[in-house]
Amino acid sequence: GQQLNQSPQSMFIQEGEDVSMNCTSSSIFNTWLWYKQDPGEGPVLLIALYKAGELTSNGRLTAQFGITRKDSFLNISASIPSDVGIYFCAGRVLYSGGGADGLTFGKGTHLIIQP
């Protein structure tokens, strides 16, 4: 099945630095989601975006729904040790009649923070 192109694959940063990652697709989505997976746990939803151009924040996290509807970006400001984990993007098409396609996932960005 299709997968999104998520980059970078991994990031090694210093505590306090800002982080940026992105996801691109060859097809259009009307919903973009960002998940975080802590070590040894399942992914947890961080941010959901439903409109092209939308910019949404959740604490130090900010995500944007690209205008082309084929990409999305996640930024983390002033990283802290608990930000360590794998971040997944996911795209979805929701239909006006109430149906939806399943989620298409990126392969994840592995964030490692050096104190």
Partner 1 sequence: DVKVTQSSRYLVKRTGEKVFLECVQDMDHENMFWYRQDPGLGLRLIYFSYDVKMKEKGDIPEGYSVSREKKERFSLILESASTNQTSMYLCATDSLRTGGSGYTFGSGTRLTVV
Using CB under 8 A, which residues numbered 14 to 73 contact partner 1?
31, 33, 35, 40-45, 48
Give me Rg for the CA atoms of the chain. 14
Residue whose CB is less far from partner 1, 44 or 78 = 44
Count the residues of the shown chain that bind partner 1, applying the rule CB under 8 A.
26
Q: Smallest distance from the beta carbon of 96 to partner 1, in angstroms? A: 12
Phi-psi domain of 46 (left: phi exceeds 0; alpha: psi -120 through 50; beta: other): alpha
The answer to the question of residue 99 lying near partner 1 (CB under 8 A) is: yes
For partner 1, which is the closer residue by CB, 77 or 86?
A: 86
Give the nearer residue to partner 1 in terms of CB position, either 78 or 94: 94
DSSP 31-87: EEEEEEE-TTS--EEEEEE-STT-EEEETTEEEEE-TTSSEEEEEE-S--GGG-EEE
Question: For residues 111 and 84, is the Cβ–Cβ distance under 8 A?
Answer: yes
Judged by the rule CB under 8 A, the positions of this chain that interact with partner 1 are: 1, 3, 9, 31, 33, 35, 40-45, 48, 88, 90, 92, 94, 98-100, 102-103, 105-108
